[in-house]
A and B are shown apart, each in its own frame.
Chain A
Amino acid sequence: MASDSHFLRFSLFHRFSHFLVIISFFGLVLTGMPLVFKDYGWAHWLYGVMGGYPTAGIIHRICALITFFAAFLHFAYLSVQTLIKKDRGIFWGPDSLLIQPKDLLNILGDVLWFFRLGSRPNYDRWIYWEKMEYLSLMWGTFVMATTGFVLWFPVQATSFVPANLANYIDLPSLALVGHRYEALLAAGFIFTIHFFHTHLLPENMPVDEAMFTGRISEEHMAHERGVYYERLKESGELEALKVRPSGCAGSLVSKIMGLPFLVVGLLIVGFMLASLICSLFTLIC
C-alpha cells in the first residue's frame, strides 16, 4: 500500500464544532475551577488573571453560551442527517456513536488482551472509549447546562418548586453540587483520560492532528481502525475519502493550536490533583 495516501476523517463542520468546544471548555474551566479550589493560591492567582469577580463570571457565561451554540449545531446536524438525509446509520451500525454489540465484544477482547489471553481486537470507525467520551460529553453538557441555568437564575428556577416541597428540595444548592462535581468529572476526564487516549498515545504524541487537519494517513488508519479501513476498501468508499495530505503547514498549525491547550489542561489537572491530595491529607490529619 502507498503509505502517503491520506483520508478525510473529520469534516470541516466537525472540526469547527470541536474547536468551539475547546475554546468554550477552557474558558469555563479556567473561570470556574478557581471557585472549587478557593483555598489554594493557584486558584486565587488564576481567578485574578481571569478578571476576578464579576468579570470571570461573565466570561464563564459567555463560554457557556458558546457551548450551547456547539450543542445546537450538533443537534441540528443530527436532525438534518436523520430527517432530511434519512441516514439511520448514526443510530445503529458500524458508523454509529452509540454503543453497539460489537463494542461489548471489543471491550471483552481488550480485557483478554490486557491479561495476555488474546491479541488486540480490531476497531471500527469509533473505538468504544471514544463512544464513551462522546456519550459523557452529551450527558455532561446536559447536566452542566441545566444546573448552570439554575445557578444563573436562582430566583426564577425556584419558582418551579412548590413551596411545600421546598423543605426537601433546595434547587440552587442541588444545582451547585451537581455543577461542581460534574465539572470536576468533566475537567478531570478531558485533561487526563481524553488527552491520554487520543493525543498522548505513543503514535499520536503530542497532538492527534486528525481533529485539526481532519486527515489521517492510510497506515495510521489501517493500524488504528482496521475494520473500518477494510470495510471502506471493500465497498470502494475509501477512494471517495481520499484527500491531499495536510503538509507541513497543517501539522504546524494543529500543533500551535493544540499544544498550548494541552499544556494548560495538564497544568490545571496537576494543580487540581495536588490540591485534592492536600485537602484529603488535612481531612485525615
Chain B
Amino acid sequence: MASILNTCGVVNNQVARVLIVGLFVALFSAVSSYRLYAQENSECMDCHTDPSKVDVKVRVDHVTGEVEIVSMLVDEEAFHASAHGGEDFYCIDCHADLEESEGEHYPNLQPVDCITFCHDDPAEEFLESSHVALMKENDVQPPTCKYCHSGYKSKRDTPRANDLSHREDTIDKCGGCHKEYFDSYRNNLHGQVTALGYVGTDIATCVDCHGQHTILNSTDPESTLGSENVIETCSVCHPGANDTFVKHVAHPKYKNISYYKEIFGAVKDARSDREKIIGIVKSPQTLITVLFVMYVGILVMTFSQFGMHSVFTWLATILDERKGKESKHGK
C-alpha cells in the first residue's frame, strides 16, 4: 500500500512525511519477514467464521496417530483471548504453508511446527529433561506440545500460562499418567483446594513445584525440588521457607493402597532385605500414617460405642414404657 502511494507523486509536506515513514516500514517489513505479502487474518476469518463455508475435518495427529474430528470454525473471542490471539499474530505464522495462497486452499495443511522458529527453548528443555528420557527408555510416546497446551474449546486456542482452565487441565494431564501421585496430591491441602476448582497461582499445582518444561526427578539436586532449588521453589508462596519446612510431604501416601502393599511386601522380605523395610520406615510418611491409622481407630471406637449407647437407651426406654413404668429413673 505504502509503495503504491509513493508512486503517485503527491507533493505535500505532511503527506511526504507519512510517505517516508511508510516507505521505511515497507522496506523494513520486506527485509525482516514476508509480511508484506501476508494475508490479513480477516481474509482467513471470512471463511473460518462462517458455518456455511467451513465444516468439520478428520484430523490425524502426525506424532501420536490419534484420530479426531475438529471443527474448522474459529471462535474469534476465544482465539483472541488465547496466547496467540494478539494483534501481531497472523494465521500464516503457524500455518506457514499457506503463506502465498489466496482464496480457497488445499484441505490438508502441514502440521504446525511450534518449535523451530518460536519455541525452541522450552522444547529443548523439555526434550532433554529426565522426564522425556525416562519415557523414551520405557518406550512411551512423550507428549507433544499440543497435548498439554491445548485450548479449552479448541486445541487451537493455546492457553496462556496462568489461564485457570489450563492450570486445572495440567493437573489432570499429569495425573493421567502419575495416578499414585495424583491421589496423594489430592490428599494434601494444595490438592484439596484445587479439587474444589480454585486453581489460581496462589495454590500449587503440579508444575508450580515440579517445573514446567525441565521436569527432573525430585531426587535430582538440580531439579526444582532438589537440594539446590527447593527453598527457592517453596519460597515463591511461603516466604521464609526453611530447611525443615521444605521437607514437607506434599504427597502423603496413607490413603494409597499400594503404600500398604509396599510395606507388607517389605515386611515379608525383612529377613533377606533389611534395607528395604528400614528405607520405608525412615521417612516422614511413617508418622503421618501412624497418626492416620490411630484416628481411624478413634473414629470407629467413638461412633460405635456412642452409637450403641444411643440405640440401647432408646430401646430400653421403649421397653420401660411398654411395661407401663414410663422411663422412670430409680426405684
Q: Which residues of B contact A155 (CB under 8 A)?
A: 238-242, 245
Given A181-B295, A188-B299, verify A168-B309 contact (CB < 8 Å).
no
Once A170-B284, A185-B299 are accepted as A-B contacts, the answer to whether A178 and B319 lie under 8 Å apart by CB is: no
Whether the pair A176, B196 counts as a contact (CB closer than 8 A) is no
Residues A169 and B287 in contact in the complex (CB < 8 Å), given A155-B240, A176-B188, A193-B310: yes
Contacts of A166 in B (CB 8 A): 243-244, 247, 284
The smallest C-beta distance from A1 to any residue of chain B, in angstroms, reads: 15
Chain B nearest Cβ from A44, distance in angstroms: 6
Which residues in chain A, 119-158, are within 8 Å of chain B measured between CB atoms? 119-123, 129, 151, 154-156, 158
Candidates A119, A176, A178; contact of B330 at CB < 8 Å:
A119
CB contacts (< 8 Å) of A184 on chain B: these are 299
Within 8 A of A (CB), among B278-303: 282-284, 286-288, 291-292, 295-296, 298-299, 302-303
Which residues 45-80 of A sit at the B interface, judged by CB distance below 8 A?
47, 52-54
Q: Mark B183-217, 1 if CB is under 8 A from A, else 0.
A: 00010110011011110101100000000000000
Q: A173-B252, A177-B291 are in contact. Are A122 and B198 (CB under 8 A)?
A: no
- Our pick among A52, A123, A188 for the contact of B303 (Cβ within 8 Å) is A188
Cβ distance A114 to chain B, nearest Cβ, rounded Å:
4
B331 interface residue, CB < 8 Å from A? yes
Compute the total of residue contacts between A and B using a CB distance below 8 Å.
151
Nearest opposing residue in chain A for B198, CB measure = A53
In the bound complex, residues from chain A placing their C-beta under 8 Å from that of B328 are 119-120, 223
- Total B residues in contact with A, Cβ cutoff 8 Å: 57
Complex-state Cα separation, A20 to B317, whole angstroms = 33
Q: Using known A-B contacts A53-B196, A155-B245, determine if residue A185 contacts B298 with beta carbons closer than 8 Å.
A: yes
In the bound complex, do residue B330 and residue A168 qualify as a contact, i.e. CB atoms below 8 Å apart? no
Q: How would you classify the secondary structure of chain A's contact residues: helix, strand, loop or mixed?
A: helix
Interfacial residues of chain A within 175-211, with CB under 8 A of chain B in the complex: 176-178, 181-182, 184-185, 188-189, 192-193, 196-197, 202
Residues of A with C-beta under 8 A to B62: none
B293-328 contacts to A (CB < 8 Å)? 295-296, 298-299, 302-303, 306-307, 309-310, 312-313, 315-317, 319-320, 325, 327-328
A-B contact pairs, 26 of them (CB 8 A): A34-B196, A35-B189, A35-B193, A35-B196, A52-B196, A53-B196, A116-B319, A120-B328, A120-B330, A121-B330, A122-B329, A154-B248, A155-B240, A165-B244, A166-B244, A167-B284, A168-B284, A174-B291, A176-B252, A178-B295, A181-B295, A184-B299, A185-B298, A185-B299, A185-B302, A189-B306
| 7 further contact pairs, Cβ within 8 A, besides A158-B245, A192-B307 | A110-B313, A121-B329, A158-B242, A170-B247, A173-B248, A177-B288, A181-B292
Give me the interface of B with A, judged by CB distance under 8 Å: 186, 188-189, 192-193, 195-198, 200, 202-203, 238-245, 247-249, 252, 254, 257, 282-284, 286-288, 291-292, 295-296, 298-299, 302-303, 306-307, 309-310, 312-313, 315-317, 319-320, 325, 327-331
